[in-house]
Structure 1
């Protein structure tokens, strides 16, 4: 009879948190999500865009099964272009390399190559730099412009986001823990910056950023 293969688990929960006191939880360092971002650029053949879109739908859920995965954001081409920019976030460089060097990803890359006009471009960045990537041939955005543009988006969010969160805290007293309240506010701001605002703002300000 065939021996049963062990099941591989990617569960990263810490069971000790169930019995930890409030003081012990408060003393723990906050998690550092999105510490590594890999920016991938694909120049897709015009006649293969539909096939490429189907490929994207397959590869994203596969990547999500790898430990440390923190999300994928796809920036679709502007009219007249077929350049896709995909940002993949991991909590550590080691987890990112586990995915990018995996046999599963290599198989998927082999599938997509016929749809591309050139080899994929890949760059690993940390922090906020992944929002500012010029097109080939463009000058990198100057640091002070990155700072000003990021500040112009973050500052209004720091004024607006706490208002509904504080209202929610009044309705749900269990959220009144100071650390938890600030964590919720930070998570909302980072989510809005990453998925909603910065991809659009950097496109709108591209002429000023990269001039």
Structure 2
């Protein structure tokens, strides 16, 4: 384990039009291969139209370097090259926090991240409970304190992560970018 702890590899790909399905198949295969490497601690993928950002975490710099230097990764990068507009763009980071995928080595100011997060979470927090209310009325066993809160929270998280946050961060990208 590296003395710095978790090391993150950020991979950015811009996909040629019409190649999204082929890229997603490649991405599933590649992340599955990466997950077999010692020290792999997970992956997150953020998609915004023709751009994909993959955030892979490893236990330390040595473990990450083993993946970066591997023949498997080299083969996968060569295989995907014809699908990409701007090639394989990577950067590493030793911080553990990635609510926002930085476009540079300097992440957005925390207050800006807090503003965007509040802007994204507030509307579903007000609307989702109202949308669930008819279901809870019709099926009272779902309306108990714990189960209703689990369903509402799950709905909000899915909306924020898959629908709202990618669109809002793309919309405010210039404002979030510290440069």
TM-score (norm 2): 0.64
Q: Deviations over 1:42-78 (max 9, x none)?
A: 256xxxx25853531312443479799787442234x
Aligned residues: 157
1:130 and 2:104 equivalent?
no
CA contact (8 A) 1:157 1:189 kept: yes
Structure 1 counterpart of 2:79: 111
| CA distance in 1 between partners of 2:107 and 2:114 (Å) | 13
| 2:26 aligned residue (39, 42, 59) | 59
Q: Deviations over 1:60-119 (max 9, x none)?
A: 443479799787442234xxxxxx233468xx867xx8xx95x89634333114555444
Structure 2 counterpart of 1:149: 116
Distance 1:69 1:170, change over 3 A: farther
| 1:120 aligned residue (54, 75, 89) | 89
Give, in angstroms, the shift of residue 150 of structure 1. 0.7
| CA distance in 1 between partners of 2:76 and 2:9 (Å) | 17
| CA distance in 2 between partners of 1:175 and 1:51 (Å) | 43
Which consecutive residues of structure 2, in runs of 5 or more, have no partner in the other structure?
1-7
| 1:182 aligned residue (144, 149, 152) | 149
CA contact (8 A) 1:39 1:130 kept: no
Larger Rg: 1
Task: Decide which moves more: 66-75 or 54-63.
Answer: 66-75
| CA distance in 1 between partners of 2:149 and 2:91 (Å) | 34
Structure 1 counterpart of 2:48: 75
CA contact (8 A) 2:10 2:55 kept: yes
Which residues of 2 match residues 16-95 of structure 1 at below 5 A? 39-42=10-13, 49-50=16-17, 52-62=19-29, 63=31, 72-77=45-50, 84-87=51-54
Q: Deviations over 1:141-195 (max 9, x none)?
A: 1111110111111122211111122321121223133222211111111111111
CA RMSD, aligned part only? 3.9
Bigger relative CO (Cα 8 Å, ≥ 6 apart): 2
Distance 1:60 1:114, change over 3 A: closer
| CA distance in 2 between partners of 1:56 and 1:88 (Å) | 16
Task: Decide which moves more: 182-191 or 113-122.
Answer: 113-122
